[in-house]
Amino acid sequence: MAHPLLLDSLTMRGLTARNRLWLPPMCMYSVTAEDGCPGNWHVLHYGTRAQGGFGTIIVEASAVTPEGRLSPNDLGLWDDSQIKGHHYLVEAIHIGGALAGVQLGHGGRKAGTPPWRPDVEGSRTGTLPGWELVAPSAVPYPEHATPQALTTAEIADTVQAFADAARRAVAAGYDVIELHGAHGYLIHEFLSPLSNIRTDAYGGSDEGRRRFVLEVARAVREAIGDDKVLDIRLSATDWAEGGITGEDTAALARQLVQAGVDVLHVSTGGNAPTKVPAGPGYQVPFAAQVKRAVAGMTTPGGGQPQVVTVGIIDSGLQAEQILVAGLADAVATGRAALRDPYLPVRWTHELGVNDWQAAHLPIQYWRGAWR
């Protein structure tokens, strides 16, 4: 095979990732995340995957407010005291040769759930007692508590919370700041007619439902300056009648690029219990739709918007085919990376490249190359 596109570098707003393989954010629900601060476990977990060859690593959802945590064991960036722990995490990722990103989020009506545990029935369902939920509208997610609808003043405070968290992320040294606009959490809740039934300026139409995310994007872009990459993860469809469609997300993507977003990380679902036709690469067509929508656009930073796809991408050949077909600019793989932190090394070999120097892997590992 010719030199794989997967191993080509990826430039985003002047920063260059060594390849086009991303580790997407996955909540780890680690008990070592005390008061939202990363611990040694997080440093080892993400640092190992950087050593393993990922080009860009996005750290799990980190809440912009305490009540916005998805669970009590989530990371956060709502306070300056959390910067130091994130800084150690960034250092570990950089030592491994990857760009370091962090996902900033607010759980909205799905916040405050019990952490996921494979041996505990009912984990990640319901709302923990005493956890106060907020959302665009007082519409509960099934089996969760009813949230309080945010006032316009509280919406402004939340926009500011995203901007403040983004400043802390920059202080910690992150290269990429990703907004969590997917999977039924607060930004997604504003975007979807299934969860946003407001009749004021933040609802009632596509323009109204998009107002919050565009305000957040602009505020965060201003907060992080011109040198950092602004990324957003979106659920392109709700997979439910009356919800967000791929066409809606393609139109929104153009507005987000104009607002200063450099990268669109395309996922789906999470805002309504529904049957999702999951299968290998099942979300790739939505990423391709977004990529077509932003083709030819230039970001305010002067570059081309990049599109990342994700969702049951389990082989190097599959990832390579997505890139060769021009369906996305980069590929994220999550659960496979939980099984094998050196997945990029394995995929590099499967694609016929055993020169680990050419693959930009740390020099300490070159002796391990297949011969």
Average pLDDT over residues 325-329: 98
Amino acid sitting at position 359: A
pLDDT tens digit string along 241-275?
A: 999 999 999 999 999 999 999 999 999 999 999 99
Dist. CA 357–CA 361, nearest whole Å: 6
Does the structure show a pLDDT above 90 at 2? Answer: no
Cβ contact 341:15 at 8 Å: no
Q: How many CB atoms lie within 10 A of CB 269?
A: 23
Cβ contact 95:50 at 8 Å: yes
**Of residues 214, 193, 25, the one with CA closest to residue 102:** 25
Point out the least confidently predicted range of 30-44, 128-142, 278-292: 30-44
**Of residues 102, 257, 248, 233, the one with CA closest to residue 168:** 102
Alpha helices (runs of H) in 112-192, residue ranges in sequence order: 152-172, 186-191
So what's the pLDDT on residue 246?
A: 98
Coil vs helix vs strand at 331: strand
Q: DSSP per residue over 89-111, as a string?
A: HHHHHHHTT-EEEEEEE--GGG-
pLDDT tens digit string along 149-175?
A: 999 999 999 999 999 999 999 999 999
So what's the pLDDT on residue 366?
A: 84
Average pLDDT over residues 207-216: 98
Does the structure show a pLDDT above 80 at 306? Answer: yes
Dist. CA 323–CA 325, nearest whole Å: 5
pLDDT tens digit string along 29-56?
A: 988 778 899 999 999 999 999 999 999 9
Cβ contact 181:235 at 8 Å: yes
Cβ contact 329:295 at 8 Å: no
Q: How far is CA 215 from CA 112, 162, 163, 218, 322, in A?
A: 25, 10, 10, 5, 32
Q: How many CB atoms lie within 10 A of CB 205?
A: 11
Crossing angle for the helix pair 246-258 and 206-224, nearest 10 degrees?
40
Of residues 257 and 2, more confidence is placed in 257
Does the structure show a pLDDT above 80 at 116? Answer: yes
Arithmetic mean of pLDDT over the chain: 95
Q: How far is CA 248 from CA 110, 193, 220, 265, 281, in A?
A: 23, 11, 23, 15, 21
Does the structure show a pLDDT above 90 at 193? Answer: yes
pLDDT tens digit string along 52-77?
A: 999 999 999 999 999 999 999 999 99
So what's the pLDDT on residue 38?
A: 95
Q: How far is CA 295 from CA 12, 105, 139, 265, 343, in A?
A: 15, 27, 36, 15, 30
pTM comes to 0.96
Residues 6+ apart with CB under 8 A from 120: 114
So what's the pLDDT on residue 1?
A: 59
Average pLDDT over residues 216-228: 97
So what's the pLDDT on residue 361?
A: 79
Superfamily covering domain 8-312: Aldolase class I (3.20.20.70)
What share of the chain in percent tops pLDDT 90?
87
So what's the pLDDT on residue 124?
A: 81
Cβ contact 43:92 at 8 Å: yes
Average pLDDT over residues 115-130: 86
pLDDT tens digit string along 69-109?
A: 999 999 999 999 999 999 999 999 999 999 999 999 999 99
Residue 348 burial (CB < 10 Å; 0-12/13-18/19+)? buried
Does the structure show a pLDDT above 90 at 365? Answer: no
Q: How many CB atoms lie within 10 A of CB 350?
A: 15
**Of residues 307, 317, 322, 309, the one with CA closest to residue 347:** 317
